[in-house]
C-alpha cells in the first residue's frame, strides 16, 4: 500500500470508508463534530478502514462510550487480518471513575485475538495488559485517545496526558495489517476525528 506512505494524515468520518464486521455503522453530526456510530450486538465488532495497511505509527481518535457496567467496550484495532484476528486497545468507560479499586484498574485493555483475550490475560498476567486511566475522563463524554505503535511496543495516551495510561509489548508477531475501530460484546460506540499518522 504505497498510498499510505504519501499520506501524513488521514481523517475518516464516513461509513463508506470502512469494512464493517458484526455491526451496523451510521454517521452522525453534533455541532462541529462529525463521526460514525457502531450499534450494539452480541459478540465483538470491528470496522477496518478500506485500502489502508498500517505498520508503525500513531492512531488518534475521539471516542464516546457510556457509564453502564459491562455494556461499553470501545477502542481501536490494528495489525488486523480479518474479523477475528487483530490486536486492539480498548476502554471500559464504566470503570473510569468507579470507586471499586479492582474495576478502576481495568479501564484500558490491550488484547491480541484470537489467542490472547482479556480473560486469558487477566487470569495469567494480571495488571500487565490493563490499567486505570488517570486522570479519569467523564465516562459518558468524549475522550481523546492516541495509540502509538512502534512494534513491538504499544503506548496508549488519553487526553493531554504526557505519560501513557498503558504501555505493553505486543503479543502477536504481526508487524502490519488492517486498522480501524473496535467495540466489544454487547457494546456500541461513537467515534470521530480518526487520524492515522504513519511513522
How far apart CA 88 and CA 74 sit, in angstroms, is 10
pLDDT at 9 over 80: no
pLDDT tens, residue by residue, 33-60:
999 999 999 999 999 999 999 999 999 9
User: Residue 12's pLDDT is what?
Assistant: 66
Global pTM reads: 0.94
Total Cβ atoms within 10 A of residue 160: 8
Domain containing 94 equals 2-198
**What whole-number distance in Å separates Cα of residue 25 and Cα of residue 188?**
10
- CATH code, domain carrying 71: 2.60.120.560
Instruction: Name the domain count of the chain.
Output: 1
Amino acid at each position: 500500500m504505497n498510498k499510505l506512505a504519501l499520506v501524513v494524515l488521514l481523517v475518516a468520518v464516513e461509513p463508506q470508508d470502512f469494512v464493517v464486521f458484526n455491526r451496523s455503522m451510521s454517521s452522525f453530526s453534533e455541532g462541529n463534530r462529525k463521526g460514525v456510530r457502531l450499534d450494539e450486538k452480541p459478540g465483538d465488532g470491528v470496522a477496518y478502514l478500506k485500502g489502508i495497511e498500517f505498520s508503525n505509527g500513531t492512531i488518534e481518535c475521539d471516542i464516546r462510550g457510556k457509564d453502564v457496567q459491562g455494556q461499553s467496550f470501545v477502542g481501536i484495532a490494528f495489525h488486523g487480518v480479518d474479523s477475528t484476528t487483530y490486536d486492539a486497545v480498548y476502554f471500559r468507560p464504566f470503570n473510569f471513575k468507579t470507586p471499586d479499586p479492582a474495576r478502576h484498574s481495568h479501564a484500558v485493555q490491550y488484547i491480541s485475538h484470537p489467542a490472547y483475550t482479556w480473560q486469558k490475560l487477566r487470569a495469567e498476567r494480571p495488571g500487565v495488559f490493563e490499567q486505570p486511566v488517570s486522570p479519569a475522563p467523564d465516562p459518558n463524554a468524549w475522550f481523546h485517545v492516541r495509540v502509538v505503535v512502534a512494534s513491538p511496543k504499544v503506548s496508549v495516551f488519553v487526553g493531554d496526558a504526557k505519560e501513557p495510561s498503558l504501555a505493553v509489548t505486543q503479543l502477536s508477531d504481526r508487524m502490519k495489517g488492517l486498522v480501524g475501530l473496535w467495540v466489544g460484546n454487547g457494546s456500541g460506540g461513537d467515534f470521530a476525528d480518526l487520524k492515522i499518522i504513519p511513522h
